[in-house]
């Protein structure tokens, strides 16, 4: 009885497999040329083709369509890709990612309807924009839709935004917008204030640096670049630099992400400070403003000399007495740990120097006192001068 049951199970499994195979074959026969499908990459070892699967049925895509301009594949086994059905040949389904043959126009329309990115095979500048070759189709990209990327980069795709019989318009800017929206949706689910992120500097302005976080940008204000005073973001960063930052604010409605590079650096204000109020230090002029002079005190500290403490005459431009890089001796007037600010004075240094000179002079007088006759050296000099006068008169 047991052997009969096993035989029955095998027959049932064989019947189920046959039924599934028949359904798959029926599904293949119903595929329309130009229709789009989500395929799973199953094998990438062949030199000419990438093997893909639609459900359990196997298909092929030309390897060149899934490689960059250097011949490097940009898909992996198990990855899902969107592709268009062409035809069945020798029992195998042929798919494409490019407008090809008689199905080219239908593929373009489908790509537009489903906002599917398409990689160009050639780009040529023409009047008003660029002629973009997508497979067998010649399309046009207006100059305003090319975006900021390299104009001839064949590795960056386009979106079809208009597909009429004799007029097909594509846009790289629209693809960038789509990528940003997708990344925004992804980040909304996992990015929070306080997170540490890494990105690439893509733009530098007077007020800060913009960082690409993978399709969406964040901004590091100039005040968040360093604990030291930064005159211009270009003094700290360059376009293309990789930078780690802390997320300090998020506004999804305005698409604004505030970043801080400073937050991940060692704060020189924490712990014991290397100076105290009243100390006299040497620093270098960092910048000159109409309200005072900023001085680099080294070790990550910057202080401000207000005009009233700078020895600059009233109404005179401080640039007439100070220049960037100039060495200057300053006294620390105030230390504000909470606001991380240092107030400096040049005027107080001069007064302190004068006071020190006087104290040194008085000390020297004490040291020079003679104990032999109880007359100081100053008295001896005075007596000598008087004797000289007497001799001249005699």
Provide the edge-to-edge strand list for the sheet that holds 137-142: 122-126, 129-134, 137-142, 168-171, 159-163
pTM: 0.55
Signed CA dihedral, 169, 173, 175, 177: sign only:
negative
CA–CA distance, 229 with 285 (Å, rounded to integer) = 12
Quick one: which of 349, 259, 260 has its CA closest to 303? 349
Chain Cα centroid distance, residue 270: 27
Quick one: which of 308, 316, 320 has its CA closest to 344? 308
CA–CA distance, 248 with 229 (Å, rounded to integer) = 19
Q: What is the chain's mean pLDDT, rounded?
A: 83
The answer to whether the beta carbons of residues 226 and 243 sit under 8 Å apart is no
pLDDT of residue 372: 45
pLDDT of residue 237: 93
Q: Is the pLDDT of residue 393 over 70?
A: no
Helix 377-393 to helix 347-368 angle (10° resolution) is 70
CA–CA distance, 50 with 95 (Å, rounded to integer) = 10
The H or E element that residue 139 is part of is strand 137-142
The answer to whether the beta carbons of residues 151 and 142 sit under 8 Å apart is no
- pLDDT band at residue 51 under the 50/70/90 scheme: very high
pLDDT of residue 8: 52
139-176 residue pLDDT tens: 999 999 997 656 778 888 999 999 988 899 999 999 98
């Amino acid at each position: 009885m047991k052997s009969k049951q096993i035989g029955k199970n095998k027959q049932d499994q064989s019947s189920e497999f046959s039924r599934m195979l028949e359904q798959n074959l029926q599904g293949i026969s119903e595929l329309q040329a130009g229709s789009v499908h989500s395929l799973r990459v199953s094998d990438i070892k062949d030199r000419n083709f990438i093997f893909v699967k639609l459900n359990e049925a196997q298909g092929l895509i030309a390897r060149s369509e899934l490689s960059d301009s250097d011949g490097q594949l940009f898909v992996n086994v198990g990855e899902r890709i969107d592709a268009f059905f062409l035809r069945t040949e020798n029992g195998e389904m042929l798919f494409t990612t490019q407008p090809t043959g008689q199905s080219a126009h239908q593929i373009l329309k489908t790509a537009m309807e489903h906002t599917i990115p398409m990689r160009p095979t050639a780009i040529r500048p023409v009047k008003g924009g660029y002629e973009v070759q997508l497979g067998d189709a010649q399309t046009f990209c207006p100059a305003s839709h090319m975006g900021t990327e390299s104009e001839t980069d064949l590795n960056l795709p386009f979106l079809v935004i208009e597909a009429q019989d004799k007029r097909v318009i594509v846009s790289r800017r629209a693809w960038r917008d789509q990528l940003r929206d997708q990344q925004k949706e992804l980040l909304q689910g996992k990015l929070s204030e306080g997170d540490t992120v890494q990105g690439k500097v893509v733009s530098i302005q007077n007020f800060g640096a913009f960082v690409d976080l993978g399709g969406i940008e964040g901004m590091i204000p100039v005040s968040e670049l360093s604990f030291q005073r930064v005159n211009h973001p270009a003094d700290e960063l360059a376009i293309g630099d990789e930078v780690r930052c802390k997320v300090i604010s998020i506004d999804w409605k305005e698409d604004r992400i505030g970043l801080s590079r400073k937050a991940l650096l060692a704060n020189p204000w924490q712990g014991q400070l290397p100076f105290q109020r009243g100390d006299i230090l040497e620093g270098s002029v960092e910048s000159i403003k109409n309200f005072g002079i900023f001085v680099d005190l080294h070790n990550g500290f910057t202080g401000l000399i207000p005009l009233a403490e700078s020895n600059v005459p009233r109404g005179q431009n401080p640039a007439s007495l100070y220049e960037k890089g100039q060495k200057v001796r300053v006294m620390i007037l105030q230390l504000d740990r909470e606001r991380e600010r240092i107030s400096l004075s040049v005027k107080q240094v001069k007064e302190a120097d004068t006071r020190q000179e006087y104290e040194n002079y008085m000390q020297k007088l004490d040291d020079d006192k003679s104990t032999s006759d109880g007359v100081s050296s100053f008295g001896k000099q005075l007596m000598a001068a008087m004797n000289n006068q007497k001799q001249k008169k005699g």
